[in-house]
Structure 1
Amino acid sequence: MKPFPFLFGPMRVPFLLLTPACVAVGVATAYRQTGHLSLLDILIVLIGALAAHISVNVFNEYYDFKSGLDSRTQRTPFSGGSGSLQAHPEMARATLILAWASFAVTALVGLYFVWKQGWGLLPLGILGLVILVTYTLWFVYQPVLCLIVPGLGFGILMVMGTHYALTGTYTWTAFIASLVPTFLVSNLLLLNQFPDVEADQSVGRRHYPIVLGRRASSVVYGLFLLGAYLAVGVGVALRLLPWTSLLALLTLVLSWKAFRGAFENAENIPALIPSMGMNVIINLATPVLLALGLFLA
């Protein structure tokens, strides 16, 4: 088995599309503030963000393999791991090396922007690096944090980190815009936990679908969807976001369908799969539409 082609599995390459969607929001708020940006800096930001996403994915694959969790999960197109290490356990060491290598790339990119823009980026960067390593080891056993941390990483940390890396400042516009992927990405992980309840419970994990049950968690899912759209509305009402940001509301109909499907099929995993697919589309399309609205203003 050649290491390089194999490692695309633990990277979960199709899911990496989420990263440029979230980075685009931070790029758009930075552009709105300055009116001009360095394409090289945008590329470096994107490399760092992708490395962070790869790192957390690969750490998750490695630790779930070592715990035996992935051999117990009911794998779906959106959850349950890639199955790569179950098929090739001899690649465990290479997988761990990839996780730490991508972690190092993330750290180096962060240090570059701390050097360029100032120490203000450091708190976000340190918190982000801690999350990369500890999410699977600790956060998944804390229900509230397990819900919040994925959105925090891809929302507030990634969007505001991008904004600061490109401008050297934090703004309320970047913060309110970052709440959209914050709510949505937490929801992405929440709904993807539904098929894994029994397997996760067997290794001691504690997230909301385990603690509250799937049906109650589908209500949380609906509230977080509402939170994402309210963030846009409040941002426009407070004039922190331009009215063109309302483009992000175009996914409302799809969100309603996803919520209804999650609520009605919370205990029927095969019937839940279409809602999980819609949830992925919502997570990709809504931040992109928000970014487009910011650029058009």
Structure 2
Amino acid sequence: MKNLLLWIMETRPQFLTLSVVLAFLGTAIAWYYGTVNIGYALLAGFGLMLTHGSVNAINDYFDYKSGIDLNVERTPFSGGSGLVPGGKLPLNQTLWVGTVTFLVALLIGIFFIAVKGWLLLPLIVAAALCLVLYTPVILKTPWPEWSPGLGLGILPILGFYFVQAGRYDWMVLIASIPSGIMVHNLLLLNEFPDVEADRKGGRKTTPVLFGMDAAAKLFSIATIAVYGWIVACALATFVLGRVVMPVYCLIALLALPWAVKAIRGSKEYRDRARLIPAMADNVTFILLTHVLLGVGYILEKLFPMF
């Protein structure tokens, strides 16, 4: 029982809430466009949580192998689980957790390919490559934050829609862009405390490669772009007279105070007492925005404005 608890902790379950809100938004979008299957949504959500947990475990494995985990200063939002450096979990079990969760998630993906069609295969392959290559390969190339933005942001929204509707839609791709930006920014800000350890470990994250000031500016611009995208899509709905993104989705602006605090804190990266609360505010902003966007699609379905 103790080992089972450690294996679960190795997936860092406190961060898997992101998978839950992605599942909510993706399913809300699918329902708005006329197709919803709660059973498939729950199964896909479980698969996404396994995928996310696998990334976390594999990341811990390679971070310890590279020595990064021995130099990093952990925070509640970065630096890994700490189970291997703390002597609580053998290194080989970390890889085992990552591999098993990945394989179970892959089986779920294969099931959906069988019942929904081969058009889902490219999405599954792209997500798998983002997962497997992220820590050992992608983090050693410039601007690696694109990978989680794609694999844990855009692709899940498209996937949740496909497994319920059996097709892709350009409007769903448009709806997924804020998720891609926010997950990109989640990884970006969480890299700030690890910059020295990442540099020693040979990583080329944005803070390492371009400096902290540039990384803070990119974080600010990208956060503003989330709102810019939502507002632009809502305005396009008015102009075109057809829903590009429901006007109700403007309620996502309610998360703005947390976004502002995250931006301000990112600029104070030298002060841990300000940076860590900013990381918490960024998580709140991201989770709340996903929920509010999902509510926006639900409201448009129930009380259509267009």
User: Hey, what does 2:213 align to over in structure 1?
Assistant: 215
User: Hey, what does 1:115 align to over in structure 2?
Assistant: 114
Q: Give the total of aligned pairs.
A: 294
Aligned partners of 1:93, 1:254: CA distance in 2, in Å?
A: 39
Structure 1 residue 271 displacement after superposition? 2.3
TM-score w.r.t. length of structure 1: 0.95
Kindly indicate whether residue 275 of structure 2 is the aligned counterpart of residue 272 of structure 1. yes
Aligned partners of 1:8, 1:280: CA distance in 2, in Å?
A: 21
Aligned partners of 2:156, 2:217: CA distance in 1, in Å?
A: 26
User: Hey, what does 2:291 align to over in structure 1?
Assistant: 288
User: Hey, what does 1:76 align to over in structure 2?
Assistant: 75
- Give the match's secondary structure for 1:238: helix
Instruction: Give the aligned residue type for 1:10.
Output: E
User: Hey, what does 1:27 align to over in structure 2?
Assistant: 27
Deviation digits for residues 147-174 of structure 1, max 9, x if unmatched?
2111111221111011111101111221
Aligned partners of 1:227, 1:120: CA distance in 2, in Å?
A: 30
Aligned partners of 2:161, 2:189: CA distance in 1, in Å?
A: 29
Structure 1 residue 192 displacement after superposition? 0.7
2:260 to 252, 256, 259: 256
> Residues 116 and 163 of structure 2 are in contact (CA less than 8 Å); yes or no, is this contact kept in structure 1?
yes
Deviation digits for residues 102-147 of structure 1, max 9, x if unmatched?
1111111111111111111111100101111110001111122x12
Instruction: Give the aligned residue type for 1:256.
Output: V
Kindly indicate whether residue 57 of structure 2 is the aligned counterpart of residue 61 of structure 1. no
Please identify, of 275-284 and 5-14, the stretch whose mean Cα deviation from structure 2 is larger.
5-14
Structure with the bigger percentage of helix: 1
> Residues 56 and 80 of structure 2 are in contact (CA less than 8 Å); yes or no, is this contact kept in structure 1?
no
Output the aligned Cα RMSD.
1.4
Mind listing any 5+ residue stretches in structure 2 that lack a counterpart? 238-243, 301-306
Aligned partners of 2:61, 2:38: CA distance in 1, in Å?
A: 34
- Give the match's secondary structure for 1:43: helix
| Aligned sequence identity (%) | 36
> Residues 25 and 177 of structure 1 are in contact (CA less than 8 Å); yes or no, is this contact kept in structure 2?
no
Structure 1 residue 196 displacement after superposition? 0.6
> Residues 229 and 249 of structure 1 are in contact (CA less than 8 Å); yes or no, is this contact kept in structure 2?
yes
> Residues 6 and 89 of structure 2 are in contact (CA less than 8 Å); yes or no, is this contact kept in structure 1?
no
Deviation digits for residues 37-69 of structure 1, max 9, x if unmatched?
222111111111111101111100111112221
- Give the match's secondary structure for 1:85: coil
> Residues 234 and 249 of structure 2 are in contact (CA less than 8 Å); yes or no, is this contact kept in structure 1?
yes
Aligned partners of 1:90, 1:247: CA distance in 2, in Å?
A: 44
Aligned partners of 2:86, 2:265: CA distance in 1, in Å?
A: 33
Aligned partners of 1:178, 1:207: CA distance in 2, in Å?
A: 24
Kindly indicate whether residue 128 of structure 2 is the aligned counterpart of residue 152 of structure 1. no
Aligned partners of 2:86, 2:193: CA distance in 1, in Å?
A: 21
Instruction: Give the aligned residue type for 1:125.
Output: I
